[in-house]
Amino acid sequence: MANGADDADGVDLAVLGPRIRHARRARGLTLAQLAERVGRAQSLLSQIENGRREPRLALLAAIARELRVPVEELLRPEPPSRRAALEIDLARAQASPHYSALGLPVVKPGATLPTEVLEALVGIHRELARATAVRAATPEEARRANAELRAAMRARHNYFTDIEALAGRIGEAVGHHAGPLTDRGVGAVTRHLGFTVERVPDLPRSTRSIIDRRHHRIYLPVTARAGQDPRTIVLQTLGHVALGHVDPTSYADFLRQRVEVNYFAAALLVPERAAVTFLREAKAERELAIDDLRDAFAVSYETAAHRFTNLATEHLDIPVHFLRVGEDGVIYKAYENDDVAFPTDVTGAIEGQVVCRYWASRAVFDNADRYATHHQYTDMGRGTYWCTTHVERTGSGDFAIDVGVPFAHAKWFQGRDTAVRARSQCPDPACCRRPPAELAARWAGDSWPSVRAHSHLLAAIPPGTFPGVDATEVYEFLERHSARA
């Protein structure tokens, strides 16, 4: 009893009731007999045993005395028997909103209900709960998880102290302090973590890599996909090992792990100490450029842009935003801590939204040379932002990688003297989403475009611990290759 209160404060009534019933039956007493002995109504004791009423301390002490058990015995948190545990599970399952919504009758787990039937019912409810959780992994659930993860990243300025420290220790152990991390260096990291890498022609199509924890192997495809840096894939895969990841329990957990291994790989490819020295020197010269960071560490422009967002606010006091945008203007990745107004849906998600056609990440595709670095000032109503944007070609098409800062911080960057100016009034439809009145008057009613649907944004999230991965293929693959061990 917490603080000596005259009730069973903090007690799980769903367990207390069955413990009282179990002790009463062990003494050979009926409910009516116990009620008479403690001087209370039988209906009250029935409610207590069924977990619907909380007994006061004085009544609980009287019950314990008549049943000849200590009060502490009745208050133990575990059910008194396997049968009682099943009854409790069934009662809780039938009390859930999901079951209530089905409009089905409630099964009372009385003494005449066979234990095997009780086990079957509890098993069905558990499967119902699991299936409900799987169905909940919809695009909306994914967008909410993305929004929550992005908010957490913003709160820490996209800087992960623990991962930086871990990557720093591993870098020291393998002798990588600055400059590009070579394939030999990646091999040293792999061996340091106790693994070997094998490239195979039969890696399941649903995977980029597979970790065999039993034999300490990492399997990769023989040839990397277009636009992918093989070093990054190895380091991201090793990140799960180094960070001690276990099977994700939800889609949000899956996303968090993906962000963490991406960060881990980038922190090894672009070590914090060397990168911060490089960036501080560039800032002092007012010569910051994502291109230079990319070239100094021999990484992709996107990796350099990501790494800049990790370090810019923490070490340079520069708020920043990042975008990865397709040719159609759809946002694939985004981050901000500079109060830029990204388009969002009702869940707060950015991914899948279309950026204003006047933003740098969209305007770059209209340049005569779209692969040249593009600099632009954009007045977005709540402030003016300077952006540096570069288009990277991948196996999935061209993507604009955009890094931007508020006007006051443009002075630190190369390209600050650009004459390119734009103005965005989005989300006002008059900005770029509503056609000019004259055009609309000429063509409204006489056009019928065939929509190119973004199926990846509409489809349900594939079920499974690792969304979209065929577990059978993975296990069959490991079985084939483990035979060589």
Check residue 465 and give its pLDDT.
56
Q: Quick one: 188 and 245 in the same domain?
A: yes
Q: Quick one: 46 and 29 in the same domain?
A: yes
How far apart are the C-alpha atoms of 399 and 318, rounded to whole Å?
25
Q: Quick one: 295 and 418 in the same domain?
A: yes
Check residue 466 and give its pLDDT.
61
Give a yes or no: residue 471 inside a domain.
Answer: yes
Give a yes or no: residue 462 inside a domain.
Answer: no
Q: Quick one: 87 and 189 in the same domain?
A: no
Give a yes or no: residue 449 inside a domain.
Answer: no
Burial of 384 (0-12, 13-18, 19+ CB in 10 A): middle
pLDDT digits (tens, 9 = 90+) for 449-459: 765 555 444 44
Give a yes or no: residue 65 inside a domain.
Answer: yes
Q: Quick one: 122 and 73 in the same domain?
A: no
Q: Quick one: 11 and 89 in the same domain?
A: no
Residue ending a domain, among 434, 457, 476, is: 434
Give a yes or no: residue 458 inside a domain.
Answer: no
Check residue 403 and give its pLDDT.
97
Rounded to the nearest 5°, which phi and psi values hold at 27?
Answer: -85, -5
User: 316: part of which helix (H) or strand (E)?
Assistant: helix 301-316
CATH number of the domain that residue 253 is part of: 1.10.10.2910
How far apart are the C-alpha atoms of 59 and 53, rounded to whole Å?
12
Check residue 455 and give its pLDDT.
47
What ranges in 243-286 are assigned the alpha helix state H?
Answer: 251-269, 272-284
Q: Quick one: 303 and 374 in the same domain?
A: yes
Would you state the torsion angle of the CA atoms of residues 355, 359, 360, 361, taken in this order, to the nearest 10 degrees?
0
Q: Quick one: 186 and 255 in the same domain?
A: yes
Closest by CA position to 404, among listed 348, 341, 340: 340
Question: What's the number of domains the chain is made of?
Answer: 4
Instruction: Tell me the Ramachandran region of residue 383: left when phi exceeds 0, alpha when psi lies from -120 to 50, beta otherwise.
Output: left
Q: Quick one: 126 and 172 in the same domain?
A: no
CATH number of the domain that residue 61 is part of: 1.10.260.40
Q: Quick one: 76 and 151 in the same domain?
A: no
How far apart are the C-alpha atoms of 270 and 129, rounded to whole Å?
44
Give a yes or no: residue 396 inside a domain.
Answer: yes
How far apart are the C-alpha atoms of 457 and 345, rounded to whole Å?
13
Domain that holds residue 346: 275-434
Closest by CA position to 83, among listed 50, 116, 53: 116
Check residue 418 and give its pLDDT.
96
Q: Quick one: 251 and 361 in the same domain?
A: no
Give a yes or no: residue 57 inside a domain.
Answer: yes
Q: Quick one: 192 and 178 in the same domain?
A: yes
Burial readout 66-104 (b: 16 or more C-beta within 10 A, e: otherwise): bbebeeeebbeeebbeebbebbbbbbebbeeeebeeeee
User: 29 vs 14, 66, 67, 94, CA distance in Å?
Assistant: 21, 10, 9, 29
Per-residue pLDDT of the chain (485 residues), as tens digits, is: 333 333 444 577 878 888 898 899 888 999 999 999 999 999 999 899 888 888 998 999 999 999 999 999 888 888 888 888 888 888 888 877 777 767 788 888 777 888 898 899 888 888 877 666 555 456 677 777 888 888 999 999 999 999 999 999 999 999 999 999 999 999 999 999 999 999 999 888 888 888 998 999 999 888 766 667 889 999 999 999 999 998 888 888 888 999 999 999 999 999 999 999 999 999 999 999 999 999 999 999 999 999 999 999 999 999 999 999 999 899 999 999 999 988 887 777 888 888 999 999 999 999 999 999 999 999 988 899 999 999 999 878 899 999 999 999 999 999 999 999 999 988 888 888 788 888 888 887 777 776 555 544 444 445 555 666 677 888 888 888 887 65
* Strand 384-394 with 196-200, pairing: unpaired
Give a yes or no: residue 206 inside a domain.
Answer: yes
